[in-house]
Amino acid sequence: MARFYCIIAAILLALGVQAQELEYKMELGVMGGPGFYMGDANLNGFYKNVTMGGGLMGRYNLNPRMALKFDLAYGSVKGDMTKQANKVPFTPDMEMKFNNSLWDAGCQYELNFWGFGTGAGYKGNKRLTPYIQLGLGFTVCNKELTMNIPMGFGVKYKIKPRLNAGIDWTMRFAMGDKLDGIEDPYRVKSGFMKNKDSYSWTMVYISYDLFPKYRKCNND
């Protein structure tokens, strides 16, 4: 009889564990989508001279509301100075038309509007939540390494308990003015965020949860 009670207790315990809303420490996934550049050859045109990019992404989930996202992506910046309304004095080393390869590596702090999860547990987390993000990264483009500040927002959705999808938009403000090969054509003195190049990516991603967080019994 004691063995029978042990078996029943084990079954109930297993069912209770399955009913819990498990949280996971990390995500790992792939991403891809369109991007555009803004700088001397494109002063204010969103989604002008669009290029495609893609790469890897990972998240370290601090809690259902906050995460650190890491990404490594490859893309390009593309432009044409001959189509600018403002004419500038070109120098022999200035690129009038360019399509420069770009590598980006960075980390962003994400803040979810609601707790992110399956929504089946006692915490009441949501399968769908928007988020905002801010971070720091590095850009390698046109033989130059520079820092960048990514800012943006996104929406994430939990397809299954361990499978996620989302769309992520960032504007990445570079600390340099050489990504396009055109440095200071208007002879305007650069500042911290003035007269710098920037680029944006709209990435669609899919990721898989790794390393579940095991909960202790309340009676421990």
> Higher pLDDT residue, 12 or 109?
109
In this predicted structure, the answer to whether residue 154 has a pLDDT above a threshold of 90 is yes
* Residue-wise pLDDT tens digits, 38-57: 987 787 888 988 999 999 99
CB distance 207 to 61 below 8 Å: no
| pLDDT score for 172 | 96
In this predicted structure, the answer to whether residue 168 has a pLDDT above a threshold of 90 is yes
* Residue-wise pLDDT tens digits, 114-152: 999 886 665 778 999 999 999 999 999 988 899 999 999
* Residue-wise pLDDT tens digits, 50-84: 999 999 999 999 999 999 999 999 999 998 777 66
Distance between first and last Cα of the chain: 27
- Domains, the chain, ordered by start: 22-213 (2.40.160.20)
Those residues with Cβ within 8 angstroms of residue 5's Cβ, 6 or more apart along the chain or in another chain = none
pTM: 0.79
Task: Give the mean pLDDT of 89-103.
Answer: 73
Backbone angles phi, psi at 19, to 5 degrees: -75, -20
Cα distance between residue 68 and residue 60, in whole Å: 5
**High-pLDDT (> 90) share of the chain, %:** 55
Instruction: Give the chain's count of helices (H) and strands (E).
Output: 1, 8
181 confidence band (pLDDT: 50, 70, 90): confident
Task: Give the mean pLDDT of 164-185.
Answer: 86
Task: Give the mean pLDDT of 100-118.
Answer: 95
Tokens of 2: 């004691």
| pLDDT score for 163 | 96
> Higher pLDDT residue, 4 or 208?
208
210: helix, strand or coil = strand
